[in-house]
Chains A and B, each alone.
Chain A
């Protein structure tokens, strides 16, 4: 943009034309993204319970109730724990996997495609499949593990970790693929140079691969964190938030409040809160990415 200088008249016309060109995209974005968010915020400021036929402005009352709502804090804690553990484990597993897939060996293409299978299966289907694997009486997992049978989805503590396992199984390949793309952007020449200089493989991994891969890692973390924070389908199929809400995430709480109870006001408050958390997380990542850019 800041290259050649144009005559002022043509500049203005060009700018107008640019606005016109982006206008359809902006319109669509406003229609499908901005409007629903504003509508949810608007709803969250009302008491709106359908069975009541009641719709009344209450200002920030719903938010005040939320701060004292133990179930909300429980759901927030579950969501945070789920996101932190799942994404960390996924990164730790995906990095070696990506390095492996990046090396040349026969059948690499087939392997690259086949690691994506868990990712390609619809979440509800794979969650249902895992629910049977976890079944305490005839599930495969208890058969394979020694020791007494564990009631994976029925005991607090186990259930959330079982859900994390399912998420890790499903999305590690996706993360690995994102990292693989980053790895392929690193020139082979610098490794050659490092070898000439006598650097060990570990040394070149720590001093070259990791720093050069950092933008890709951050991007992969951004995608996965936002996704994990909104987790709904896998956990809903596995436990519906049970036992005793120990696996209830913010999305599940919001869904139950909105769609089962018909409490649209408070349900919207919970949705807006989830949205704000996600915005906060992405701002942190974008700032980190921005630093990388510079």
Chain B
């Protein structure tokens, strides 16, 4: 009779001593006068240089005990982690990395703290690129500080085309001419698989046709002439053979491999593809140029803004928030920007850093990106981006794959988006 009771007690004891339940106690013992600070981030590669950067912070802030915790590299999985932990009120980490499209969502949900006092919006506007600032300042308040940025750009083969194309017509013409000389070549590869990258490609095409995706009131506006032209253009690339049919299942890596093997004339991708292209055994080493995306009018195109920001968990105490803000200031300083660029090839969010002599000398490629990152545009800045993104992906995919005409796809997307946002407001 008494046995089951004992086993229940034993089970309870075992559960109690599991690491998860004990966490609070450990934290308290570390605290002893010092402030514990936990930084949740995605590992960047060889950790040595980053450890040094963090060690600098600890030297300057002896009152803080800093520890780091790794997040999964996949953006989706990291989002899922924050969704479940922050909604559950987790306070076991202080500083977190946030993707550029999450800031309004996390801010509205009350998961990340308003840090306007430490980082006033006007200071950010003065010191940082306009795209990332637009993404981190929500309703006039700062919720995150840009850490490093990314932007969609056009890669081209200097040996196959006369010069970088400036308009869509030039891009198609150059691709055709190169294909006429070598029929095995593919023209223009990009990302058409149903995923977030497709949205980036489509927004760029819409912007390049003079459209805006958000209207003045912050409402998503898809059923427009420019949006139709943008989507028609992407579908037309496939239909006319300028882009191979395979782009409808390609993400970044699939496109990069085709380009890397020397089989494509043009590629839309993120700057990371540059380093691979310049490796000693790369068949396209020294033959690749990088340029802003083309547009209809010929002015330099707007690439989608990517990249990561640093924010403070809204559930932590004021004392820890203060330490967290100091860490963010340290990691987003001009000096840290330079070191992140030199050691990890991450593009600085401060325009002034692109002129730093160390950057110009040792990573001239990053220095050359300044014009493109200045033109980087955030995806629609709305708390509902993740809800809407899903609808957009499937309708854009239907248009690209030729299941529905772009016009119908955009109408359907607009209807679903209106339905979703109508529910909210």
Also in contact, A244 and B398, with CB within 8 A (given A50-B83, A154-B193): yes
Interface size class of A (residues with CB under 8 A): 35 or more
Q: Which one, A135, A155, A248, A259, contacts B248 given CB within 8 A?
A: A155
A264 nearest CB neighbor, chain B only = B87
**Please, which residues of chain A bring their CB within 8 A of the CB of B257?**
137-138
A245 touches B87 (CB 8 A): no
* B194 adjacent to A51 (CB under 8 Å): no
**Is residue A118 contacting chain B, with contact meaning CB distance below 8 A?**
no
Q: How far is the CB of B389 from chain A (nearest CB, A)?
A: 8
Task: List, in ascending order, chain B residues with CB within 8 A of A257's CB.
Answer: 390
CB distance from A39 to the nearest CB of B (A): 14
Instruction: Find the B residue at minimum CB distance from A134.
Output: B249
Please measure, in the bound complex, the distance between the C-alpha atom of A50 and the C-alpha atom of B257, giving whole angstroms: 39
Residues of chain A within 8 A of B193, CB atoms compared: 153-154, 239-240, 242-243
Given contacts A135-B254, A137-B246, A242-B393, contact A156 B401 (CB under 8 A): yes
CB-defined interface of B190-202 with A at 8 Å, one 1/0 digit per residue?
0011110000000
Assembly CA distance A262 to B109 (angstroms): 11
Distance A138 CA – B383 CA, assembled complex (angstroms):
40
Contacts of A244 in B (CB 8 A): 194, 394-395, 397-398, 401, 403-404
Contact A262 B387 (CB under 8 A): yes
Asked if A137 and B401 make an inter-chain contact with CB atoms under 8 angstroms apart, the answer reads: no
Are A245 and B249 CB-contacts (below 8 A) given A50-B87, A51-B383, A260-B76?
A: no
Q: How far is the CA of A245 from the CA of B8 in the complex (A)?
A: 47
Query: Is B398 in contact with A260, judged by CB distance below 8 angstroms?
Result: no
B105: Cβ under 8 A from any A Cβ: yes
B254 / chain A contacts, CB cutoff of 8 Å: 135, 137
Q: How many residues of B contact A (CB 8 A)?
A: 46
**Which residues from B are CB-within-8-Å of A49?**
387, 424
Per DSSP, are chain A's interface residues mostly helix, strand or loop, or mixed? loop
Q: Are A24 and B424 in contact (CB under 8 A)?
A: no
Interface residues of B in 354-400 (CB under 8 A from A): 383-384, 386-387, 389-390, 393-395, 397-398, 400
A260-B246 contact in complex given A20-B1, A50-B109, A137-B258, C-beta closer than 8 Å: no
B67: CB under 8 A from chain A?
no
Known A239-B249, A261-B386, A261-B387; judge A154-B108 contact (CB<8 A).
no
Query: Do B249 and A240 have beta carbons less than 8 Å apart?
Result: no
A23 interfacial by beta-carbon distance below 8 Å: yes
Asked if A82 CB lies within 8 Å of chain B CBs, one says no
CB contacts (< 8 Å) of A159 on chain B: these are 249
Give A53 to B111 CA distance when docked, in angstroms: 10
For window 1-59 of chain A, which residues contact chain B by CB distance below 8 Å? Answer: 20, 23-24, 49-53
Among A23, A24, A246, A260, which residue has the most Cβ atoms of chain B within 10 A?
A260
Q: Is B261 interfacial (CB 8 A cutoff)? A: yes
Q: Known: A137-B258, A138-B257, A243-B400. Is A151-B387 also a contact (CB below 8 A)? A: no
